[in-house]
Amino acid sequence: MTAAISDTSEPSPAGPRRSVELDSDEALRLLGSVSLGRIVFTRHALPTVRPVNHVLDDGEIVIRTHEGAALTARAGQADGQGVVVAYEADCIDPDTHLGWSVVVTGYARLVTDAGELARYEKLLSPWVNRTMDYAVRIRPDLVTGVRLTAAERPDGA
């Protein structure tokens, strides 16, 4: 018989927050400071979201993928410009609700140069137990971000 563990403590309210817009340079810097994000693309005309790890390389986001991945197929079918995607990464404290969130919209293309692929194999280790023979590069066209900060209370507290 397994005993159920119950957490009866109530989370304390985080208080009001203020959202401060980030410029694109700061947003990309923050995105480059973390290794995990979410890529959004269309599959069968519907939005699809996948958690992935990434590296920021010369202002572009690079992720590794595998042959059977939906993103690999979509990026491989794209014309010269690529396929439109969004990429989101954040770092928000679950207790204080302070932190930041960055969203990049741009075009994703498969990396086809063997030398670049080899370089990305060294720079970016997959975090899933799967062979990742492909890489996708996202060129940011629109970069937005917000920092969540504590708002001043009306009573000055």
Could you tell me the CA-to-CA distances from 69 to 49, 65, 117, 139, 157 in Å, in that order? 12, 7, 17, 20, 51
Q: Which residues contact 74 (CB under 8 A, 6 or more apart)?
A: 41, 42, 43, 83, 108
Question: What is the rounded average pLDDT of the residues 83-110?
Answer: 95
Instruction: Return the minimum-mean-pLDDT range out of 48-52, 87-91, 143-147.
Output: 48-52
Return d(Cα 77, Cα 48) in angstroms, integer.
17
3-state secondary structure of 27: helix
The pLDDT tens digits of the residues spanning 71-88 come to 888 888 777 788 999 999
DSSP string, 34-58: -SEEEEEEEETTEEEEEEEE-EEET
Task: Return the closest-CA partner of residue 57 out of 123, 111, 107, 108.
Answer: 123
C-alpha span between 71 and 77 (Å, rounded): 10
Average pLDDT, the chain: 87
Sequence-ordered strand ranges (E) for the chain: 17-21, 36-43, 46-53, 55-57, 60-65, 83-92, 99-110, 134-150
Higher pLDDT among residues 68 and 113, named by residue? 113
18-22, 28-32, 70-74, 118-122: which has the minimum mean pLDDT? 70-74
- The pLDDT of residue 91: 97
pLDDT tens-digit profile of 26-75? 999 999 999 999 999 988 889 999 999 999 999 999 999 988 888 888 88
Q: What dotted CATH number matches 17-147?
A: 2.30.110.10
Domain boundaries, the chain: 17-147
Q: What is the pLDDT of residue 146?
A: 97
Per-residue b or e along 101-128, where b marks 16 or more CB atoms closer than 10 Å to that residue's CB: bbbbbbbbbbbeeeeeeeebeeebeeee
The whole-model pTM stands at 0.84
Q: What is the pLDDT of residue 125?
A: 86
pLDDT of residue 148: 95
